[in-house]
Structure 1
């Protein structure tokens, strides 16, 4: 009597894998080449992690049925499991030539392209998978991952319904949490991980990521506790997990002032994987705090070299000879252009946000936390909302700022609604409070901001350009445009000058209401400067702003690189720090000279004046 497919399926459904395999092989002896039996056998072998045998089965199916996209997809997955990635890529492409609208195969191909760091192809493939299966959490999560590489505004939109998806399988839920942390949604990442650990309490990857999330939320004791629990698990940790624990403990030691311990731990552990530039940024930070300047710069050079290597693989155009460092700074509106803009109705000053701008590491986060501590104001951390609006306009054939003169009342009203919708997706809006929008490089979006909020007030955060360049060079920026600009100090100085020149040009054209807040004055004359800022905004009592550090600690997560500094009271540690690195910054000084002269900053002091 022939072995039936139903008998095989019944054995599978009851978990009798050995019986199911025996039945498959019996069926194939009775009917050599039976398609269903071969598919089931291949799946069984995969489940038992017998990758080589599964590969042979799926290869046989492609030979017997070369026109089946399903068989080519299964064969591709088996090749990928076996580590034969280039062959897997070709097999997935064959599968999709046969079944171009198959969301499962598009998802598989996109995930492989992510693994191969073919990020632009992955984004296109995974967005197609989402198009054909819009309800699939996996398609949304991995498409968002690919979009996040390019700061594509669709990344956050894709995972917006994440609460509806829980619980996911462990791998997808872990990916979702990691993605949320990447998108500066640490609170959401914590919720996802805590839910995952409630049902998989010994998930090592989830515990490692949760410890990192807690550190970013300034919950240091909680992070330490998670690491202690992880280290005490009976299951053996692999080398990668052990290395990550050392890195996280080193970060906690640094946060607690145990700098030598942190340095020794990092040097003992070494990079997690080849290309781990984050390791060298962390080592440089500790060395800098220990005043080991040469070691700090050596680690930074290594960090940037590895980061550039990755960027050249993902966005090589940024390093072409004629590449523009800050594209948004190159497109400028002239006075003649501005005169062509139609007169439109717009919100008054009290209904417009207060914008905090300035080149990154100029003290924008300190200003934001000061303002957010006032009950009459509400901030939302650093959000690229005007980049998103510009991208959305580009999708409709309108380019910023070239086409702003085409914006009529309807377009501007809809853009303001879109902006407000983005704001409300990130914070629970207190309508009695005036909104504070802090994003340093919003200074490059002044034309669009002025079109939508012409009565808004701006606070320009200013800091010694040399301190800014040094601090930026020491940062591991997530935004590719900033990471590429920081490849070396000359490029970084050029980007700084370009950004400030664009700002000064548009301030002259639009004449917005601007207060310049110098970091050096803010930290040395804090009470006087907070009164000045309060008067500019129209606040009667500036005193709540003086307790910003307590307010920042209560907030927990702060989505900027300076999240560890703004929970501390004002101090002068960041002033004239560049003097200790004068030699390393020497190539940048001639480039910075126009801005040094414009803002009246000195470069003649010596390092002996710095504590």
Structure 2
């Protein structure tokens, strides 16, 4: 129906009716009326916003985003639509995009507490904990806001201050009972206080609430798994982790299930690399660092293999500057590893071409506020393992520190932990997917190193937690440094970390050997993937016996 044939008075009445229903709390009725009006050809930002909310409740986040983008096209300064799109993008784990929309909300309404609170939530999801802390406090300067209080409780949890987390979360629950983030902060405090029964009770009450969003439900299930694990109820814990991952798979399948998976990419990349004549991988000129760094170390491995512990230890050395989990090679990755076959371009690239990408890398380091004058730079990014050919061409004089841990513990931990979602992390949502991705990544690393002959040292997690000083002294000596007692204070530095990863909570306990051999508790559940991992178990020297 075109606009000329419409009845403006009737259209205004339709919009008013949807607004009345939504204001009265009848979101189902408001959504039904909005969708009917949209289906009849009436477009209005309010209708699109209300319809999007219903689509989100149904888990149709991509469709909801499409409606909200249209609402913003019709009304670019509609704060409600901008905020709603940011929240919807957060549900899809697209927090970088969400952050831009919350920034737009704040630019239009600097006093809007919800804009600052939601900005804080996006920053927290990105692991940018200090910036998130600032945004939450900014929100509270304008008014009491449960999202901001819950966000500060989450930060206190990450830092191990469970008393503060509990106080903040209880304030939230007085206003909004069963607020998911607050419930989970209190559950974490209960677990830290060795009261798993209380933690389980709160989480089960949350999970019984049908209003809980799918992402929050998945996170609560994962935490329930941790609580059950603490009670040595391993079969039940595994069932909770499985249900959590199944829900996350449903949520993110529209983004990551179609097309080439990370596993397929890794296998194809390895195959294409092997097709390049070996002489093409002769070392290139080192190129200039343009930063004053005296040495360059890449800390790589596989998720949950011990890279965070190593980075937290090494950053205690006064001569080391580290940067964690930032994709500094993104410019060159697009050019040379965007597709598996692009590796042939990499092998053929001339030094002048490569120097431009080296410069881009160091520019990103400077943009992160890192001063490398007379320092050793440690770039920690676990899956840079798959970029070893790129590292070899761009930085042939760099040292490679490869974190290694029992493959069975690695795969189990990947299955249990929550990561910021992307294609590789989507692979970890199933036990089989995690095991096969691990196998493919280790195979790639082996093939790459065989031809590239990089200066590579293996750091075995079990040896590090077993004899921390000896192992870190050896690693420091390999880098060209001496041991310093400041390296020991991993737990103290972890309280102040500006970036959060799934390993942060464990670092607060310092160097801990309790996670060694955890896979044995779950041996029956891991039975289907043990044959995939067994070759690496043997090759890396681990005991094959259950």
- TM bucket (normalised to shorter chain) is 0.7 to 0.9
Q: Is the 8 A contact 1:263 1:283 kept in 2?
A: yes
| Residues 261 and 425 (structure 1), Cα distance of their counterparts in 2 relative to 1, 3 Å cut | farther
Distance of 1:147 and 1:269 partners within structure 2: 20
Query: Residue 260 of structure 1 aligns with which residue?
Result: 197
Unaligned segments of structure 1, at least 5 residues: 1-32, 55-77, 97-102, 607-611
| Residues 324 and 250 (structure 1), Cα distance of their counterparts in 2 relative to 1, 3 Å cut | closer
Q: Is the 8 A contact 2:534 2:544 kept in 1?
A: no
- Give the Å deviation of 1:227: 2.2
- State yes or no: 1:596 paired with 2:537: yes
Q: CA RMSD in A?
A: 4.2
Query: Residue 179 of structure 1 aligns with which residue?
Result: 122
Query: Residue 17 of structure 1 aligns with which residue?
Result: none
- Give the Å deviation of 1:560: 1.1
Of 552, 560, 576, the match for 2:517? 576
* Matched position secondary structure for 1:403: helix
Of 527, 530, 537, the match for 2:479? 537
Query: Residue 512 of structure 1 aligns with which residue?
Result: 454
Unaligned segments of structure 2, at least 5 residues: 1-5
| Residues 127 and 191 (structure 1), Cα distance of their counterparts in 2 relative to 1, 3 Å cut | farther
Query: Residue 488 of structure 1 aligns with which residue?
Result: 430
What whole-Å deviation, never above 9, does each CA across 1:120-171 have from its counterpart, x for those lacking one? Answer: 99489859979x9799997699479749947697777888899977725344
* Matched position secondary structure for 1:561: coil
| Residues 324 and 551 (structure 1), Cα distance of their counterparts in 2 relative to 1, 3 Å cut | closer
Q: How does 1:7-406 map to 2 (within 5 A)?
A: 45=16, 49-51=19-21, 81-84=30-33, 86-87=35-36, 117-119=60-62, 122=65, 126=69, 142=85, 146=89, 149=92, 167=110, 169-201=112-144, 203-231=145-173, 236-237=175-176, 239-241=177-179, 244-270=181-207, 273=212, 275=214, 276-317=217-258, 325=263, 327-332=265-270, 333-334=273-274, 336-337=276-277, 339-340=279-280, 343-347=284-288, 351=294, 353-387=296-330, 389-391=332-334, 400-405=342-347
Query: Residue 6 of structure 1 aligns with which residue?
Result: none
| Residues 341 and 358 (structure 1), Cα distance of their counterparts in 2 relative to 1, 3 Å cut | closer
| Residues 278 and 79 (structure 1), Cα distance of their counterparts in 2 relative to 1, 3 Å cut | closer
- Give the Å deviation of 1:387: 4.8
Distance of 1:259 and 1:420 partners within structure 2: 47
| Residues 301 and 108 (structure 1), Cα distance of their counterparts in 2 relative to 1, 3 Å cut | closer
| Residues 256 and 431 (structure 1), Cα distance of their counterparts in 2 relative to 1, 3 Å cut | farther
- Give the Å deviation of 1:339: 3.5
Distance of 2:170 and 2:61 partners within structure 1: 37
* Matched position secondary structure for 1:429: coil
User: More deviation in 167-176 or 501-510?
Assistant: 167-176
TM-score (norm: length of structure 2): 0.82
Distance of 2:19 and 2:48 partners within structure 1: 24
Q: Which has the larger radius of gyration?
A: 1
Greater relative CO (CA pairs within 8 A, separation 6+): 2
Number of paired residues? 528
Distance of 2:82 and 2:336 partners within structure 1: 25
User: More deviation in 297-306 or 283-292?
Assistant: 297-306
Query: Residue 3 of structure 2 aligns with which residue?
Result: none
* Matched position secondary structure for 1:436: strand
TM-score (norm: length of structure 1): 0.74
What whole-Å deviation, never above 9, does each CA across 1:360-403 have from its counterpart, x for those lacking one? Answer: 111111101001111111222222333565247789x9975342
- Give the Å deviation of 1:198: 1.1
Distance of 1:138 and 1:385 partners within structure 2: 33
Distance of 2:246 and 2:166 partners within structure 1: 32
Distance of 2:434 and 2:202 partners within structure 1: 31
